[in-house]
Amino acid sequence: MVVADGQGLPLSCRLASASPAEITLLEDALDHLKARRPWGLKLIADRAYDSDPHRKRLKRNGFDLIVPHRKGRVQPKTQDGRKLRRYKHRWKIERTFAWFGSFRRLLVRHEHHLTIYHAFFIIACIMLTMRRMTF
């Protein structure tokens, strides 16, 4: 789980095994941003995060969740088309994942211990940030 800014630079991450659902990792990843985020921060995610209780929890914490509704939704829609126009910017996070793919050590997980993999992931985040900085 990676939280990135509008330019695709990683701000926070949460690593775990493949078994937990992504939606359970999101709030842990967002907890790292509490100290430095303004209220009303827009959070763009894919359809897997479409859940009304989840939306309410994030709204209480100051996040505006922008997610297209799942197909076959029975309950009324919670957002209109104006808000969903921001969803077209999701390519920036996909680009961030592609940048992580350039690090061979992260591409295929050879590490058995999560702490070692996490260390290499943090090094990759630092290298990506340094590449994108302008002096």
Query: Closest Cα to residue 92, out of 9, 8, 10?
Result: 8
Q: Residue 7 and residue 47: Cα distance in Å, rounded? A: 22
| Chain segment 63-118, per-residue pLDDT in tens | 888 888 778 777 777 776 777 777 788 888 888 889 998 888 888 777 888 888 88
pLDDT category of residue 34 using cuts at 50, 70 and 90 = low
Q: Break the chain into its structural domains and give their ranges.
A: 2-132
Query: Closest Cα to residue 119, out of 101, 131, 106, 107?
Result: 106
Partners of 65 in the β-ladder: 43
Question: Alpha helix locations (H) across the chain?
Answer: 22-31, 52-60, 81-84, 91-100, 104-107, 114-132
| Chain segment 36-64, per-residue pLDDT in tens | 555 667 888 888 888 888 888 888 878 88
Are 67 and 111 in contact, with CB atoms under 8 Å apart? no
